[in-house]
Amino acid sequence: MTSTTGSLDPKDPESAISAAALRCSNRGRWGEDDVLGTLNFLTEDKRIAGAACVRRGVAFSLAQRFDTNGPQRGWRRRTNPVHTMLTSGLDAEFGPPEFPHGIGGADDVIFMPLQASTQWDGLGHIFDHGRAYNGRRASQVVTSEGDQLTGIETAAGRIAGRGVLLDVGRVVGEGGELPDAFAITEAHLEETIAAEGPSASVGRGDLLCIRTGQLARTRREGWGDYAGGPAPGLSFTTASWLFDREIAGVATDTWGVEVRPNEFEVAFQPLHQVAIPHIGLFLGEMWDLDALGDDCARDGSYEFWLTAAPLPVTGAVGAPVNPIAVK
């Protein structure tokens, strides 16, 4: 397996980003007031088609577990979720009765960064030179009180449609896994589609899941630097492919969708800088695609009905999600 990033000048991310942003812009495509970006591609007919993918009735959660034993290490104050009980079964069994007729209850709370585990990046998550999706000024979209326009709640009822798994780890990698720092190019994506067959076609309105295998490796070897360290992922050069396919969203089993280290000498997530503010593309991160990948390999069908409904936290720039794939 080989990975090429084509003609990128590793010393000049600014030029590459601005060129990609120009080529791959959906600015104004759905009007000045649009808050949905590529979710506009996920129309009702796409849902009807997606529902036809339910053939065996088998369901998969694509979420990791939300708890303290997660990958976060505090970078940018991103800790792992902390779940605590307000009352427990011990109170119910041994504590003073809180309620009549023998009923007891347990309750709980959580504190977590919204990007702690399996999540969607919303359109307010990333800016390009101070500009958010649709050319808006970042400061007028996301204040300290949250995203005033494109908060994740605007997408609350939208993200249900046809899902497609491109198991690049299985097709291109060895042992089902791509190594860290492996950049997935357009060629790898097309190779995977070809290998998987017709069910893996990718088109307008689809919710694309790309499995690299890194999570499987992490599960085996420990978190290490899963959250932010080296990882396989999409090459910056796939921006055009993502744009041209008119997909509704793309998710991976890695922390940040993109190959890490990034393909420029000094860089930080350049594909995000094109994908979110210019394409208006929803990015899913830290999804668990392993069981789904195994099933797809078994039955040869890589499409499914996918519901990936973000928790509608008002004004959130991203949100945890428990995506459910049904085949």
Least Å distance between CB 247 and its own copies?
A: 17
* 3-class secondary-structure state, position 251: strand
Binding to its own copies in span 140-169, by CB under 8 A: 140-147, 153, 156-160
- Contact with its own copies (CB under 8 A) among 6, 105, 198, 300: 105
Distance (Å, rounded) from C-alpha 282 to C-alpha 289? 17
Q: Which of residues 70-89 bind its own copies (CB under 8 A)?
A: 74, 76-89
Only one of the segments 22-30, 100-108, 222-230, 248-256 lies at the binding site for its own copies (rule: CB under 8 A); that segment is 100-108
Nearer to its own copies, 226 or 305 (CB): 305
What does residue 319 show for φ and ψ, rounded to 5 degrees? -160, 145
| Residue 180 C-beta: closest distance to its own copies, Å | 21
Q: Does 22 bind its own copies (CB under 8 A)?
A: no
CA–CA dist 203, 107 (Å, integer): 44
For residue 300, give both structure tokens.
């040869």
What's the closest the beta carbon of residue 242 comes to its own copies, in angstroms? 17
- Amino acid, res. 140: Q
| Shortest CB 206 distance to its own copies, Å | 14
Q: Distance of alpha carbon 161 from its chain centroid, rounded?
A: 15
**DSSP SS3 for 226:** coil
In whole angstroms, what is the distance from residue 204 CA to residue 164 CA? 12
> By CB under 8 A, is residue 65 in contact with its own copies?
yes
Binding residue count for its own copies, defined by CB under 8 A: 117
Q: Provide the minimum distance between the beta carbon of 291 and its own copies in the complex, in angstroms, as a whole number.
A: 8
Pairing outcome for strands 324-326 and 303-307: antiparallel
Q: Which contiguous run of DSSP H or E holds residue 14?
A: helix 13-23
Tell me which residues in 249-308 interact with its own copies (CB under 8 A): 264, 266-270, 272-273, 305, 307
